[in-house]
Structure 1
């Protein structure tokens, strides 16, 4: 049995395999509302390297994916300005689940149920290795950020602000 057999075969993992992405799986004890602070502590990695997958929507309820450093927040005003829309706001958890096909806390940008535009904080590319959700709560995958660009072709944005 190889190492990859220990990990769940989620839609995200299927997509990573389809695109021959080089990744490593990391399981940890999921904690409700623990967020990236919890996962980074559990795995002993910097929170800045843990990338959140956020499902948001514009004023027309059109969904989009935002990838952001774990220790930063998205300036929705700045993002709306960059996208040329009136407003951007986070989706309610049940709406996010419907769009992505994943449960909040286990949302991966890979293998989403609905095709959505992806926006990625530009500074994520400065990292050597990122940890991003593998499609299940308590399961992150590490990879080079360039793989995210290759597979998802996100639009790079600068909308991160320091978390308060």
Structure 2
């Protein structure tokens, strides 16, 4: 009988296995990214949103895969730029249900650590330094060094924001 780990436990175990230092912070409830940033004492650009995107290699295929996009809190994903970087013909935001199925986390808690399925990760090149992101559970964030995170996951960086 296997015991299901909490989101925080999954994140902690994966970060430790990858040798990445993280710090958990109980952020408290927030109804928006600016409110979450204020609770954490950081600028919105220092919170990195982890989005699950649904991707197709060709226009006509019925099969699709998922990728993770990391984007600063003060930007949005430019889907055309992300498609080019990822080499995909079609790409869009996954539904909350699809995002949960692909990552094992609910929207707002998604992060690269402890994903249900290992997914390719693409990040906006402007992400640097100490960043905050979801941490697998509501009202919880983690802080991590962007370079350490990108190295641990072999993240592909490029200009994907607008």
- So what's the TM-score if we normalise by structure 1? 0.85
Q: 2:90 aligns with which of 87, 90, 97?
A: 87
**Runs of 4+ in structure 1 displaced over 4 angstroms?**
none
Q: Can you give the 5+ residue segments of structure 2 that lack an aligned partner in the other structure?
A: 1-6, 57-62
Shift of 1:26: 0.8
2:26 aligned residue: 27
Q: Can you give the 5+ residue segments of structure 1 that lack an aligned partner in the other structure?
A: 1-7
1:15 aligns with 2:14: yes
1:108 aligned residue: 111
1:133 aligned residue: 134
CA distance in 2, matches of 1:52, 1:133: 8
Are the equivalent residues in 1 in contact too, given 2:78–2:160 (CA < 8 A)? yes
Shift of 1:24: 1.6
CA distance in 2, matches of 1:107, 1:155: 18
- So what's the TM-score if we normalise by structure 2? 0.86
Are the equivalent residues in 2 in contact too, given 1:13–1:135 (CA < 8 A)? no
Higher mean Cα deviation, 40-49 or 19-28?
Answer: 19-28
Are the equivalent residues in 2 in contact too, given 1:133–1:141 (CA < 8 A)? yes
Q: Deviations over 1:40-79 (max 9, x none)?
A: 0111211101011000011342100001101100000111
Aligned length: 151
2:154 aligned residue: 153
SS for the counterpart of 2:99 is helix
RMSD value, Cα: 1.7
1:66 aligns with 2:69: yes
